[in-house]
A and B are shown apart, each in its own frame.
Chain A
Amino acid sequence: MTQILQLDAVSKAFGAVTVADDLSYGLEEGEALGVLGPNGAGKTSMFNLITGTLKPDAGRITFAGDDITALGAARRSRSGIARSFQVPQPFTHMTVFENAMVAATQSAGLAGREAERLCIEVLDQTELLDKANDRAGGLTLLNRKRLELTRALCAKPRLLLLDEIAGGLTEAECTALIATIKSIHASGVSIIWIEHVVHALMAVVERLIVIDFGRKIAEGEPKAIMDSPEVQEIYLGIEADA
């Protein structure tokens, strides 16, 4: 297997608040990695560092063999890194279909019919086709999350970063989402998934890392990680002495 992503000793701080502290890990091509950690642990900042929205203070990020540390967000997107935002960031004045077209034309670099066909396909897969002509600003939270996933997929990513995409969904919606993500994964896309809905995560990922205060505090096979007392205390708030 080849390495698709590698973080080497990446650090980032805002004043007294450290969001990434000597963070290192790698991801194999086609692997699905889950990320756990309490709110404010620096998980979303880690995504910002990988996508180029944030520049690290120190460290190196390699994607598909290239050092991308100095590249901007747009270049990284075009090279195959796509993400969904935890707080959805739709283009509110554009329709759902046009939102998808932005990804297909600008990131995936498609044009004309080819771009349109991809968007229709993905919208069908993410169950947004009925809303294709709706303005994105008027969507419900669930549909905004679906739109996040849609846009990320229309970018034809090699690496897909999902940020709490299952939060706030009903059980049935969650089950459908898991099936979608599994099929994306099966098509060969590498995935890093930040999620609080642990059972959803466990259904898809092959490996877990746990982050707190910007540091990687555990890494390994999902079941073993979830059973470790340290993780239980930090992540679930269950106190070791309680």
Chain B
Amino acid sequence: MSTDIRISRTSNAAKVAAVLGALIVVILIAAPYWAGRADLRLMGEIFLYLALASLWNLLAGYAGLVSVGQQAYVGFGGYMLFALTIFSGLPPLVAIALAGLLGALISIPVAALIFRLRGAYFAIGTWVMAEVFRLVFAQVSALGGGSGTSLPTDIVRSMADGRSAREALSYWLALGAALIVVTAVYLLLRSRKGLALTAIRDNELASASLGIDIWRTKFFVYVVTSGLTAIVGALIFLQKLRISPDAAFSVNDWTAFVIFIVVIGGIGTIEGPIIGTIVFFLLRETLADLGTIYLMVLGLVAIVVMLKAPQGVWGFIRHRFDLQLFPLGYRVERSKDS
């Protein structure tokens, strides 16, 4: 009797989206050949924010770990890039990968400590950890102490010949990071572990009774997210070429804005961070001249969205049109003759 039943994990909308998405990716890969230098830089920044937002969304929106201290790993990754290239003479690309690995490693003892805190206290605990990271790096005089340091020019030159080639490489790395992160989050959520995460989000009591180790699952997500965040951090400071404790561990730049992006776009969806990043940069590019007013508007928009439409822009669209571009669920389909 089960022969006429099949399980589908995709939809027509998702197939269309996949084709369109692939097309857009191809166009974006070609950007260094059609976009100006300033646009390329901006797009690189957009992709890195998209990666940060997708990671924070995985952490908070799926694993329920609302961290306000992810700047710890952004800054850590950035400093590792500088330290490994300057002191160990590693090529930047190797240093970036290693920064991710070290970020994941250091997040293990951090998690062991702050997982003792619950809910909102966990959130502030993560902030304390980020402060500890900042103060520690400010003590390292070889990296410029409190005032920071620049990436030596010979290291920058070693990446590629010529400025435009370097900028193209830096752009592709940012694009690659965003693609890898979004794909990784998507595949993770479709996997067995993703099912566990979604279940935990719905009901911890039932999850534990159905064999899900809640602590371990969250721990796993925290470590993976931290490692990937460190890679993104390394890429951010590869773009900036200069690092200082205050810039590297800025709560506003690497966490507040990222949270606003995710919430405005729609937390707990893969599409949300993408939409949120677009909205964020549209706002920024149109209102940036207003300075502090722009930031107040951003804060206000985030508050209003949270209070009036907590599912964000994508949540609204999905609800209205029953649309999912990254299908995660299962549909049971029965053939007509059953």
Are A77 and B332 in contact, CB atoms less than 8 angstroms apart? no
Are B213 and A75 in contact, CB atoms less than 8 angstroms apart? yes
Give CA–CA (A102, B212) in the complex, Å. 9
**Residue from the list A72, A95, A116 in contact with B208, Cβ < 8 A:** A72
Question: Given known contacts A53-B205, A90-B203, A117-B2, is B329 in contact with A106 (CB within 8 Å)?
Answer: no
**B36-44, B190-198, B256-264, B274-282: which lies at the interface:** B190-198
B117 to chain A, nearest CB (A): 20
**Residue from the list B192, B206, B209 in contact with A105, Cβ < 8 A:** B192
| A45 lies within 8 A of chain B by Cβ | no
| A232 lies within 8 A of chain B by Cβ | no
Question: Given known contacts A97-B330, A98-B329, is B208 in contact with A155 (CB within 8 Å)?
Answer: no
Give CA–CA (A132, B198) in the complex, Å. 17
Are A92 and B203 in contact, CB atoms less than 8 angstroms apart? yes
Known: A85-B205, A94-B198, A151-B210. 16 other contacts (CB 8 A): A53-B208, A74-B208, A74-B213, A77-B211, A82-B210, A89-B205, A90-B203, A98-B198, A102-B212, A105-B192, A105-B195, A105-B196, A106-B211, A116-B330, A120-B332, A129-B332
| A78 lies within 8 A of chain B by Cβ | yes
Could you tell me which B residues sit within 8 Å of A by CB distance? 1-2, 5, 7, 192, 195-196, 198-199, 201-203, 205-214, 329-332
- Chain A residue nearest in CB terms to B199: A102
Give CA–CA (A103, B196) in the complex, Å. 9
**Residue from the list B1, B205, B211 in contact with A124, Cβ < 8 A:** B1
B204 to chain A, nearest CB (A): 10
Question: Given known contacts A53-B209, A107-B210, A151-B210, is B199 in contact with A116 (CB within 8 Å)?
Answer: no
A interface residues, tally (CB under 8 Å) = 40
- Chain A residue nearest in CB terms to B201: A93
Question: Given known contacts A74-B214, A91-B199, A98-B195, is B329 in contact with A120 (CB within 8 Å)?
Answer: no
**What chain B residues lie within 8 Å of A51 (beta carbons)?**
209
Are B203 and A101 in contact, CB atoms less than 8 angstroms apart? no
Give CA–CA (A106, B211) in the complex, Å. 5
- Chain A residue nearest in CB terms to B268: A93
Give CA–CA (A51, B211) in the complex, Å. 10
Q: Mark A126-159, 1 if CB is under 8 A from B, else 0.
A: 0001001100000000000000000100010000
**Residue from the list A95, A106, A111, A120 in contact with B210, Cβ < 8 A:** A106
**What chain A residues lie within 8 Å of B2 (beta carbons)?**
117, 120-121, 124
Are A111 and B332 in contact, CB atoms less than 8 angstroms apart? no
Give CA–CA (A9, B213) in the complex, Å. 27
**What chain B residues lie within 8 Å of A210 (beta carbons)?**
none
**What chain A residues lie within 8 Å of B213 (beta carbons)?**
72, 74-75
Give CA–CA (A53, B208) in the complex, Å. 8
A134 to chain B, nearest CB (A): 10
- Chain B residue nearest in CB terms to A47: B209
A207 to chain B, nearest CB (A): 25
Give CA–CA (A124, B4) in the complex, Å. 13
Are B211 and A78 in contact, CB atoms less than 8 angstroms apart? yes
The winner among B1, B7, B205, B331 for most chain A CB atoms within 10 A is B7
Are B206 and A106 in contact, CB atoms less than 8 angstroms apart? no
Are B211 and A155 in contact, CB atoms less than 8 angstroms apart? yes
- Chain A residue nearest in CB terms to B331: A133
| A83 lies within 8 A of chain B by Cβ | yes
**What chain A residues lie within 8 Å of B329 (beta carbons)?**
94-95, 98
B191 to chain A, nearest CB (A): 9
A38-93 at interface with B (beta carbon < 8 Å): 51-53, 72-75, 77-78, 82-83, 85, 89-93
Are B196 and A106 in contact, CB atoms less than 8 angstroms apart? yes
**What chain B residues lie within 8 Å of A77 (beta carbons)?**
208-211
Are B203 and A83 in contact, CB atoms less than 8 angstroms apart? no
Are A90 and B211 in contact, CB atoms less than 8 angstroms apart? no
- Chain A residue nearest in CB terms to B7: A116
**What chain A residues lie within 8 Å of B209 (beta carbons)?**
51, 53, 73, 77, 82-83, 85, 89
**What chain B residues lie within 8 Å of A121 (beta carbons)?**
2
- Chain A residue nearest in CB terms to B206: A89
**What chain B residues lie within 8 Å of A92 (beta carbons)?**
202-203
**What chain B residues lie within 8 Å of A105 (beta carbons)?**
192, 195-196
Are A91 and B214 in contact, CB atoms less than 8 angstroms apart? no
- Chain B residue nearest in CB terms to A115: B192
